[in-house]
Structure 1
């Protein structure tokens, strides 16, 4: 038997359009023939009166012939009406009968028009007036009867009226011609009136048909409903008994399932009080069922504040907002009254940007009382320097409203009533309510989110959000904290209108976390080994360069030693009188020139340029060592770091600052960009990309030895999806488009190497929920690699 929920509901009867039109036409034709009999009898009597009135002005033979023709047409039509009324007329032939009536009416109208042909202006005035009265009478008499089926009325009245109008127009007297114009106006008015009458009568007939069909359908539905209710009542009685039996069986089976599960299970009520646990949970916490029964869930399960506070708060707030909106639509309250029942700080703004509702707790955030903000704009809460830009933002939002969940860490300045500026977290939720568009503006103090919230919001409350999943700690009996994955489902009443509790499933993460740490350490060791080899390579290049500089400095020192010996010899010869002052002067000039060459030199061969090279190389070695020391320690978790500094460290470690590479390198990035990622792994990805760019430029120099290499590293922040875009662009040898699809495969390389760099990057981007792309116009056209990462990773 069909359940009540699946029974058809009573809706307005829907007629197929074609069938509906046929029924309407059939009803119009029925009315036409039904009322036509009386008007036809009246027409016969009127023809006799006409003969009497015009016997003295029209030839008797003509008048008698005219009257006979009229009687014949009326009698034929009366016979057709008799046949129509005494047989069942099908819908498909009703239209034929209707047009048959139209033909008969037209013939009768033409015969009536024949009387007007006998008009003569010499007639007595009384006869002329009677002719108009006669025509007006037959037209008015046929109006109501013939207008049901619209073509019938024009077919009857147009021939006599048109004949009379033409006869008047043919007369030479102006009065008759004006009379002809009046007849034309009368004819048009009658036509319009008949049209209106037909439209209204058609609407009435349609409503009558629909009402009849609806009444019939309701009667059938009532009878069917009564039968179904009786059948359903019997089924429900049987179902209730089966339900009772099933519940007993389910309780037994559920106990078996709970006892056999490998994860801990806690059943709580709506207040977060533990009602039941399974044996695995007791084993995990090393206690008895009596010890945990009726404890608050928060006394046994806590959330890791550092990892989960932000995402839990956002999800919790979104659930609160959705729940309050649902209650608003259910209660159909006015906005301002509804706001008095909302517990969190919120403003309701209309389409004009005017505040229409304020919750009581808003005073804690803004310092403004409710009556001070009502009917005001949001600009009152915005610092002066931001108001102009904020006005445009509000305008654009109102034109294209879009929900914006609360995001911890993204704050906006707010002007407190005291004049102080504070930072608040904001969420926006557009709603359409009672034919108006509103925006719910939720404001929260970040300190409340980061501090009080995690301690005051019970975990049972956090699980109210859809698809709950968090990580936390299970407090064991001896003080240990076991890492667990927490998932759950809400328990509702039978009508799903009320939350009665929740089932919490706790999965032990001890082994998984241990494996993750091992994997992270292995990845770190591999990356550290690659980076260490790279640092040694860069330091080796620098030391090789320093060796050349030291060798040149040694040559200059040897030259100075030779000059010293020459000066001592010259002093000895001066003392012995072998050299005069002119000889000494000439020797000193030569020594001055030589010493100048030793100090400054030509082609950077002097002592000063050599010492500058020595300082630059030692400074670069220091930068490489500093960059390496920043990533040489293992980090077990993500942290916040400055992206600009990380990009510079990658450039230093790649050896791009080495003079022997002669590659122009630029780093473009806004200094304030802070991201929350694994810093070491990101730098390793950048090193792979920079090495590829260096190799591409060196390959290009194999073709053109003096080729000017360029590498550009840039980063921007995308506010639209809260991501960063890092781009490494070079003007090297590029990659053939036909080979680009293979670049990220393990072991593939265009340089005959191991082919792990881009594959490592692809794996890293997948793990971090990132995106990447490679672009190259072709061989010798350079290449660009772009990676996109979330600023703050959320698991």
Structure 2
């Protein structure tokens, strides 16, 4: 971190020196041109005053330029530090929650598994004995809620596990294609258009296929739910989700975006969407995006959310940035 700080300020200092030299050269050239055309007939005393004036003017310009240059990069550095502090704070919250739940998740899974299997058995037996439909519906309601508790426990377990993932060289486009094959039928039933725009010859990344697939499934599920509520979405637009991949120009990163044409996201939700247990959905657990946030940062990347345009009705955009695999020497 310290070396990175020194390298950046060394680069900024070189930029300041070179730009200052350019200003000096330009001012001297302009001055020589003016002196040749306008001041060639002046005596030595008048020229002496002009030279002093030139020196003062040059000093003022260079001082103003240096102050502006330094303040500009200082503000940029402070903004980067704030972003880094926010990311560290988020990571600390995720770590703390992972430590909190790791000791109890397994104890939850076992009884839930027994409950679900027994409820399924009860449902089959009730059907065989001709139980009233109301009783069957009650059993199904209890089974679904027990399964929901199990899903929450699985999300907590995924959240708590920070080590042990096997990483390999991956094609992000293959992760997208495999994920689409899992949910394509469901989205077609809901008449949601999936528009895939995958960059050809995408550089490989180093990561865990299942974890990245889990992230994309979470993002697509959130986009599907956003299109389903209809709050503020375009009344005549067919529900659609655009999935795109591309390489950042001149940078060793690839990007994945998931954009829906739903109602967009409120500023308050955008600020808290990656917080554990934060959800705006009645049936949501508030863990999917928190887990996704942790996975992406474990991969050395970043994930952000924003409205797709200046107005909320333009939809929501999730942007994932991942580092390209380093070439082996």
TM class by smaller structure? 0.3 to 0.5
Q: TM-score, normalised by structure 1?
A: 0.19
Q: TM-score, normalised by structure 2?
A: 0.45
Higher RCO structure, 1 or 2 (CA under 8 Å, sep 6+): 2
